[in-house]
C-alpha cells in the first residue's frame, strides 16, 4: 500500500480491524495472542499513524467485516467512501488511483454497488492489453470500494442475514436458515458467507459490481478458512501478471448494465429453480409436474409442498397431517420475478367438501403480501393478470377455511408468463 502511485497517501486514513481469539459459540480459541500481536505490530510498522481496533472475541470473517463497515460508515465521524482489504491481496501500484476514479463514478451512478481493481487474475498480458478498455463484473469481493450511501441501502437487506450468523461458529453457519432468507428475496442457494449475502443484496437492489479487466492485484491466499494449496493452484491464482495499460473506466451504458445485472441475477436464481434461458420465458406445467408433502408443521396447520413426480394430488386427512380444519397449503414453484406485468393460469380441483381460498402472494424487501385472492369450493379455474412493482418471489397458497376428512386437493399451475416484463 505504501507503494501506491498517482494518489497522495496523506489523504487516506488507515485502520486495522483485527479479529479476536475466543469463539464464544464454541468456547475454542481461533488463534493466539502472540499471532494477533504480530499482526498488529506489522500494521503499525507500516502505518504508524494508523488506528488499530482489536475485537474482544473472535467474530469470523463476515461479522468482522460488518464491524469495520459500521465503524467507517455508521460512526459519528463516518466517511463517504472507503476501501476494504483482507491480508491476502498484494496490490499493484495503481490500485488506489483506479479505485478512486471508480468510487467517483459510483457516487454519480446508483446502479453501481461495489467497485474493485484486481481485474482478471488469470488473463495473459496479451489478453489484458486487448481488453483493457472495458469494465467487467467483479468475480470476487476482494479489495473493494464502497460508498456510505450504497452501504446504508444494502444494510437494510443484510441486517436479517447478520442476525442469523451473529452467534454462529464461523465454520458452521446456519445454512438452511440463510437459504430460506435468500429464497424469501427471490434468490437461490448462493454461498452462505458474507460474500454470497452481499451478492444477493446487491442484485436485489438492481446494482452491479464493477472492475477493469486488467489485473492490478495478486491474490496470495493459498491457505485459509476457504482455501487450500490445491484449490489455489487449480484456480490459477499464481499465474496473475501485471500489465502497464491505462484502463478505460467508462461507465456501462443501459444495455450493458442490464445485461450484466440480469446475467448475475440469473446465476443466483438458477441455483434453486429451473434455468431461465431468456426474457419472455413462460413457465409451463401442462406435463405432470405435481406435488407431494415435504414438511408438516402440525401446531400451525401449515403444510409445505414441493414439486415431485410421485403423485398428482395430496390427501388432506384428519389423522395428524393438519392439526385442525384450518390451515394453509403452500405449493410451488416459487417464481423469482422482476418489475413487470404478468399473466397467470391456474387450476385447483377439490375431491371432497369444504371452502378454500386461492392466494397469490409476493415475498420481497417489504415482507409478505397477498396481492390476489379467489374463494372457491369444488374447483377453481382462473386466468388473471398481475402487476409486480419490485423484484420479489411469487408464491401460491391455498387457505383451507374448512374441509372434510379425506379431502383431496389437486393444485396445478398451468402457466406463468410476462407481458412485457422480465422473468429474473
Specify the CATH number for the domain of residue 386.
Answer: 2.60.120
| 115 and 233 co-located in one domain | yes
Q: How far apart are CA 115 and CA 145, in angstroms?
A: 5
Is residue 276 a part of any domain in this protein? no
Q: pLDDT at position 131, please?
A: 72
Same domain, 334 and 259: no
Q: What is the dihedral of CA 245, 257, 267, 236, to 10 degrees?
A: 0
Angle at 331 between CA 325 and CA 334, to 5 degrees: 145
The pLDDT of residue 154: 95
- Regarding predicted confidence, which is higher, 27 or 54? 54
Residue 413: pLDDT above 70? no
Task: Evaluate whether residue 360 is within a structural domain.
Answer: yes
Least confident of 104-113, 185-194, 196-205, 276-285: 276-285
Stronger pLDDT, 303 or 349, i.e. the higher one: 349
423 lies in a domain?
no
Give me the numbers of helices (H) and strands (E) for the chain, helices first please.
9, 20
> Can you give the pTM of this predicted structure?
0.63
pLDDT of residue 23: 76
pLDDT of residue 261: 87
Evaluate whether residue 4 is within a structural domain. no
Residue 277 lies in a domain: no
- Say yes or no: 153 and 98 in one domain: yes
Whole-number percent of the chain with pLDDT over 90: 29
Does position 304 have pLDDT exceeding 60, yes or no?
A: no
Give me the pLDDT at residue 287, please: 31
Confidence band of 102 (pLDDT split at 50, 70, 90): very high
269-303: b or e for each residue (b if 16 or more CB lie within 10 Å)?
beebbeebeeeebebebeeebbbebeeeeeeebbb
Q: How confident is the model at residue 73 (pLDDT cuts 50, 70, 90)?
A: very high
Query: Domain tally for the chain?
Result: 2
Q: Identify whether residues 261 and 288 lie together within a single domain.
A: no
Residues 6+ apart with CB under 8 A from 329: 303, 305, 314, 316, 397, 398, 400, 409, 411
Query: The domain that contains 27 carries what CATH number?
Result: 3.90.550.10
Give me the pLDDT at residue 242, please.
Answer: 82
Q: Tell me: do 78 and 203 sit in the same domain.
A: yes
Question: Which one of 270, 292, 325 terminates a domain?
Answer: 270
Among 64-73, 205-214, 280-289, the least confident range: 280-289
Is pLDDT above 50 for 392?
yes
Q: Name the domain boundary from 270, 293, 317.
A: 270
| Domain-terminating residue out of 207, 236, 270 | 270
- Mean of the per-residue pLDDT values for the chain? 76
* Amino acid 335: pLDDT: 65
Residues 329, 260: one domain? no
Q: Are residues 311 and 206 in the same domain?
A: no
Which set of grid coordinates corresponds to residue 193? Answer: 458467507
> Are both 335 and 192 inside the same structural domain?
no
pLDDT-above-70 percentage for the chain: 72
Q: Are 75 and 211 within one domain?
A: yes
Buried/exposed code over 341-376 (b: 16+ C-beta within 10 A; e: otherwise): ebebbbebebeeebebbbbbbbbbeeeeeeeeebee
| Residues 295 and 224 both lie in one domain | no
As a whole number, mean pLDDT of residues 320-348 equals 60
Give the list of residues 6+ apart from residue 225 with CB closer than 8 angstroms, or none: 61, 170, 171
Q: 337 and 239, same structural domain?
A: no
Give the structural domain span for 395: 282-418
Residue 119 has pLDDT above 80, yes or no: yes
Look at residue 346 and tell me if it is in a domain. yes
pLDDT tens per residue across span 187-242: 875 678 889 899 999 999 999 999 998 889 999 988 876 678 877 877 778 888 88
Identify which of 174, 98, 176, 184 has the alpha carbon closest to the alpha carbon of residue 365. 184
pLDDT classification of 355: cutoffs 50, 70, 90: confident
Are 273 and 336 within 8 A, CB to CB? yes
pLDDT interval class at 122 (50, 70, 90): confident
Residue 293 covered by a domain = yes
Average of per-residue pLDDT across 393-420: 66
Same domain, 265 and 312: no
Confidence of residue 183 (pLDDT cuts 50, 70, 90): confident
Amino acid at each position: 500500500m505504501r507503494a501506491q502511485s498517482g494518489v497522495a497517501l496523506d489523504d487516506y486514513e488507515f485502520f486495522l480491524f483485527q479479529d479476536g481469539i475466543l469463539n464464544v459459540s464454541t468456547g475454542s480459541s481461533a488463534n493466539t495472542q502472540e499471532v494477533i500481536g504480530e499482526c498488529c505490530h506489522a500494521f503499525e510498522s507500516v502505518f504508524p499513524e494508523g488506528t488499530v481496533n482489536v475485537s474482544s472475541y473472535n467474530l469470523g470473517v463476515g461479522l468482522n467485516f460488518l464491524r469495520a463497515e459500521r465503524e467507517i460508515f455508521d460512526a459519528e465521524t463516518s466517511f463517504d467512501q472507503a476501501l476494504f482489504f483482507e491480508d491476502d491481496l498484494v496490490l499493484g501500484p495503481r490500485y488506489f488511483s483506479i479505485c478512486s476514479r471508480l468510487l467517483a463514478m459510483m457516487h454519480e451512478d446508483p446502479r453501481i454497488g461495489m467497485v474493485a481493481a484486481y481485474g482478471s487474475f488469470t488473463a495473459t498480458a496479451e489478453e489484458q492489453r486487448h481488453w483493457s478498455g472495458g469494465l467487467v463484473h467483479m468475480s470476487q469481493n476482494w479489495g473493494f470500494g464502497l460508498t456510505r450511501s450504497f452501504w446504508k441501502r444494502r444494510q437494510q437487506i443484510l441486517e436479517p442475514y447478520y442476525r442469523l450468523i451473529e452467534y454462529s461458529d464461523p465454520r458452521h453457519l446456519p445454512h438452511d436458515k440463510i437459504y430460506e432468507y435468500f429464497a424469501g428475496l427471490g434468490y437461490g442457494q448462493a454461498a452462505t458467507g458474507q460474500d454470497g449475502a452481499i451478492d444477493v443484496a446487491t442484485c436485489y437492489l438492481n446494482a452491479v459490481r464493477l472492475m477493469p479487466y486488467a489485473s492490478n492485484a495478486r491474490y496470495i491466499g493459498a491457505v485459509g478458512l476457504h482455501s487450500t494449496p490445491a484449490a489455489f493452484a487449480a484456480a490459477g491464482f499464481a499465474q496473475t501478471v501485471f500489465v502497464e495499460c491505462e484502463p478505460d473506466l467508462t461507465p456501462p451504458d443501459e444495455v450493458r448494465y442490464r445485461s450484466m445485472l440480469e446475467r448475475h441475477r440469473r446465476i443466483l436464481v438458477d441455483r434453486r429453480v429451473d434455468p431461465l434461458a431468456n426474457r419472455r420465458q413462460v413457465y409451463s406445467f401442462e406435463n405432470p409436474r405435481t406435488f407431494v408433502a415435504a414438511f408438516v408443521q402440525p401446531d400451525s396447520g401449515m403444510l409445505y409442498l414441493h414439486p415431485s413426480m410421485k403423485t398428482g394430488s395430496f390427501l388432506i386427512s384428519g389423522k395428524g397431517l393438519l392439526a385442525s380444519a384450518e390451515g394453509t397449503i403452500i405449493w410451488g414453484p416459487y417464481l423469482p420475478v422482476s418489475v413487470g406485468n404478468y399473466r397467470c393460469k391456474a387450476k385447483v380441483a377439490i375431491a371432497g367438501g369444504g371452502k378454500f381460498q386461492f392466494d397469490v402472494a409476493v415475498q420481497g424487501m417489504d415482507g409478505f403480501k397477498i396481492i390476489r385472492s379467489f374463494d372457491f369450493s369444488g374447483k377453481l379455474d382462473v386466468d388473471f393478470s398481475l402487476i409486480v412493482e419490485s423484484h420479489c418471489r411469487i408464491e401460491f397458497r391455498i387457505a383451507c377455511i374448512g374441509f372434510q376428512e379425506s379431502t383431496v386437493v389437486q393444485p396445478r399451475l398451468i402457466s406463468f408468463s410476462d407481458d412485457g416484463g422480465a422473468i429474473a
